[in-house]
């Protein structure tokens, strides 16, 4: 059986959908903090089990009988290293033999603040003796396309990435990659750098929105401090800080990758910038 943690999150739900294309529902476990929110999975025959990263006593039971696990990184910045270790320890106790973990692009060399907890998790997982696959996901299109309505209204995107390029892919692309690793072979004890095929700048994103909407949308580059102040008006301070930090380092190439590993894994091109913008305009998304 295959366990997906954080299965009611935006990525987790898509991974379950991908697994159901090739795997019987009875062989999939949706490990979730609040089972009541996962009734849709149960209706489709997926096993739903409580698994709270902050309550280790729920984890071993949730993983019982499974052999493969996807550890989707938690969202509680500052607590993730401890939480991820608890998941890995419980998985080992439950007899899990393979763990895939959603990490960050170029984590071992990344200057991003976000890399610290990811790298600690990677190293811990590698030290356990379990078979692993590290999915170093790049930026999500949705992290930026969510701002399209606001950008159209104000005539501009704002950020701090300068002329830096983002090798972004859609959440669906990353979900399909995770499912491929969970159900396939040849990924044992590997580290996969996963990014989109078409790196773009924020100015190019703005130009694409302009092209598709007929509205004038520009990109206004700010300092990291200025961008953080703007973000702090709509996000918790810790999230504003790490996003502004990521943008500033993106200006230096930290979120660009030209390996095409993701498209090779998917056996297709990754979602294009134009398709991501079109989808976001048609159906506005929320931040990952």
The structural domains of the chain, with segments of one domain joined by +, span 2-138+169-194+258-268
The average pLDDT across 248-256 equals 97
Region of 92 (left: φ > 0; alpha: ψ -120 to 50; beta: rest) is: alpha
Classify burial at 156, counting beta carbons within 10 Å of its beta carbon; exposed 0-12, middle 13-18, buried 19 or more: middle
Q: What is the distance between the alpha carbons of residues 270 and 105, in angstroms, rounded to a whole number?
A: 16
pLDDT of 231 > 50? The answer is yes
Q: What is the distance between the alpha carbons of residues 288 and 277, in angstroms, rounded to a whole number?
A: 16
pLDDT tens per residue across span 96-117 = 999 999 999 999 999 999 999 9
| pLDDT value at residue 288 | 37
Quickly name the fold that domain 2-138+169-194+258-268 has: Rossmann fold (3.40.50)
For residue 285, name the pLDDT band (cuts at 50, 70, 90).
Answer: very low
| pLDDT value at residue 283 | 75
Hey, what long-range contacts does 84-89 have (CB within 8 A, 24 or more apart)? 84/53, 84/117, 84/120, 84/121, 84/124, 85/121, 85/124, 86/53, 86/54, 86/56, 86/59, 87/5, 87/51, 87/53, 87/59, 88/121, 88/124, 88/125, 88/128, 88/130, 89/56
Classify burial at 277, counting beta carbons within 10 Å of its beta carbon; exposed 0-12, middle 13-18, buried 19 or more: buried
Element (H, E) at 193: strand 190-194
pTM: 0.95
pLDDT of 284 > 60? The answer is no
pLDDT tens per residue across span 150-167 = 999 999 999 999 999 999
The average pLDDT across 154-181 equals 98
For residue 286, name the pLDDT band (cuts at 50, 70, 90).
Answer: very low
């Amino acid at each position: 059986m295959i366990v997906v943690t954080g299965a009611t999150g935006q990525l987790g739900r898509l991974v379950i959908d991908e697994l159901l294309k090739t795997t019987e529902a009875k062989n999939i476990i949706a490990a979730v903090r609040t089972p009541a929110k996962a009734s849709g999975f149960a209706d489709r025959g997926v096993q739903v089990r409580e698994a709270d990263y902050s309550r280790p006593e729920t984890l071993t039971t949730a993983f019982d009988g499974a052999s493969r696990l996807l550890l989707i990184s938690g969202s509680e910045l500052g607590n993730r290293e401890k939480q991820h270790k608890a998941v890995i320890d419980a998985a080992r106790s439950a007899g899990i033999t393979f763990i895939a973990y959603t990490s960050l692009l170029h984590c071992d060399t990344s200057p991003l603040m976000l890399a610290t907890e990811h790298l600690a998790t990677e190293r811990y997982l590698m030290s356990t003796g379990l078979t692993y696959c590290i999915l170093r996901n790049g930026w999500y299109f949705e992290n930026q396309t969510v701002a399209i309505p606001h950008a159209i209204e104000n005539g501009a995107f704002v950020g701090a990435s300068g002329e830096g390029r983002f090798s972004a892919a859609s959440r669906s692309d990353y979900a399909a990659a995770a499912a491929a690793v969970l159900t396939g072979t040849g990924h044992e004890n590997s580290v996969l750098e996963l990014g989109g095929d078409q790196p773009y700048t924020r100015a190019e994103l703005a130009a694409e929105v302009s092209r598709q909407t007929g509205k004038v949308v520009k990109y206004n580059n700010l300092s990291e401090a200025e961008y953080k102040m703007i973000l702090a008006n709509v996000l918790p301070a810790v999230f504003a800080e790490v996003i502004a930090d990521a943008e500033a380092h993106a200006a230096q190439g930290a979120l660009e990758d030209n390996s095409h590993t993701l498209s090779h894994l998917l056996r297709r091109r990754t979602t294009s910038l134009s398709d991501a913008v079109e989808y976001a305009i048609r159906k506005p998304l929320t931040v990952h």
